[in-house]
Amino acid sequence: MKHIAVIGAGTMGNGIAHTFAQSGFTVKLIDISEKSLEKGMATIASNLDRMVTKGTITEDDKHKTIGNIITYTDIKDGVVGCDLVVEAATENVGLKMNIFKQLSDVCDHNVILASNTSSISITQIAAQVVHPERVIGMHFMNPVPIMKLVEIIRGYSTSDEVTKIIMDLSVKLGKTPTEVNDYPGFVANRILMPMINESIETLYNGVAGVEEIDTVMKLGMAHPMGPLQLADFIGLDVCLSILNVMYDGFKNPKYAPCPLLVNMVMAGKLGVKSGEGFYDYSESKKAEKVSKQFS
């Protein structure tokens, strides 16, 4: 397996492309937006520059990594000759279904199709594909070049052979693959998102403020960042989408998103990417200033 296609040049997609390219794979980064591709490549170059400065890689490593990535705006052209396609589009069921229908039409039947979905059923995605046994979840963590975990999700039809190939491939990327079964939220978000949602409920109910909630979790539970800061980093729209998937999947009220989260997403307060969430990022990308709404 040498040729990889990555669909989506956003935060996760460019991170996945970066990781494969740095490991010596030829990567085709696909996005319908030329602007998104340019932004994604700029992010990869910036992250590589940071690694050069830290001495993690050399300048030559940086150039080789960038040279391993080719960009495309058309899926059909981008997947030609690829052994694996990793879909990393927005966490939207309809969008992902449409992408996998296209992949089923344009890819050879021996090409493995993986989704970076953080909550959507791999079995549901695989139902759009001829030979669903080749569909698997490959849930990377953000930031992809740094985080070691890859959550490997087996759909109902995913074969043992495909699972082993993807587990072994993840190890070659320097990651630690962990196999889980296909239920809403898998393991990572089934545990993480209720914690984030309860933190938002705690704020919503006036138990404590933003900084106080995050401080308790950082200093009391040894979390590297507080849950509200983490929600901003993930994106409040993504958190809401994952909670809705779990609520729809389990029909259990404990997964119902907090009304405050719903309102913030509707108001466009999405966290770091919009410049404001629970914290204000207008002057710094670090969570140093609580949003005016909560201060």
Strand partners, 7: 30, 87
Instruction: Please check whether residue 4 is in contact with residue 28, taking contact to mean a CB–CB distance below 8 angstroms.
Output: yes
Q: Is 108 a known ligand-binding residue? A: no
Q: Is 12 a known ligand-binding residue? A: yes
Q: Is 193 a known ligand-binding residue? A: no
Which pLDDT score is estimated for 207?
Answer: 98
Residue among 115, 139, 157, 244 flagged as catalytic: 139
Residue among 36, 47, 118, 291 flagged as catalytic: 118
Nearest residue to 105 (alpha-carbon basis) of 75, 82, 70, 81:
75
Nearest residue to 134 (alpha-carbon basis) of 168, 102, 100:
100
Which pLDDT score is estimated for 192?
Answer: 98
Predicted confidence band at 17 (pLDDT cuts at 50, 70, 90)? Answer: very high
Q: Is 131 a catalytic residue?
A: no
pLDDT above 90 covers what percent of the chain? 99
Q: How many Å apart are CA 5 and CA 63, to the nearest integer?
A: 19
| 23-43: burial string, b at 16+ Cβ within 10 Å, e else | bebbbbbbbeeeebbeebbeb
Note the pTM of the prediction, 2 decimals: 0.93
Q: What value does the mean pLDDT of the chain take? A: 97
252-255 own/partner pairs: CB under 8 Å, 24+ apart: 254/194, 255/193, 255/194, 255/197
Q: How many Å apart are CA 258 and CA 240, to the nearest integer?
A: 9
Q: Is 118 a known ligand-binding residue? A: yes
Q: Is 151 a catalytic residue?
A: yes
Question: Is the peptide bond between 143 and the residue preceding it cis, with omega within 30 degrees of 0?
Answer: yes
Nearest residue to 117 (alpha-carbon basis) of 152, 74, 73:
152
CB-based burial of residue 116 (10 Å sphere; 0-12 exposed, 13-18 middle, 19+ buried)? buried
Residue by residue, DSSP assigns 11-57 as HHHHHHHHHHHHTT-EEEEE-S-HHHHHHHHHHHHHHHHHHHHHTSS
144-188 tens-digit pLDDT: 999 999 999 999 999 999 999 999 999 999 999 999 999 999 999
Residue among 119, 189, 197, 291 flagged as catalytic: 189
Gyration radius (Cα) of the chain, Å: 19
Q: Is 201 a known ligand-binding residue? A: no
Q: Is 251 a known ligand-binding residue? A: no
98-120 tens-digit pLDDT: 999 999 999 999 999 999 999 99
Q: Is 10 a known ligand-binding residue? A: yes
Q: Is 23 a catalytic residue?
A: no
Q: Is 282 a catalytic residue?
A: no
Q: How many Å apart are CA 87 and CA 55, to the nearest integer?
A: 31
Q: How many Å apart are CA 188 and CA 151, to the nearest integer?
A: 8
Residue among 151, 157, 170, 276 flagged as catalytic: 151
> Which ranges in 222-293 belong to alpha helices (H)?
227-234, 236-250, 259-266
CB proximity list for 219: less than 8 A, separation 6 or greater: none
Q: Is 161 a known ligand-binding residue? A: no
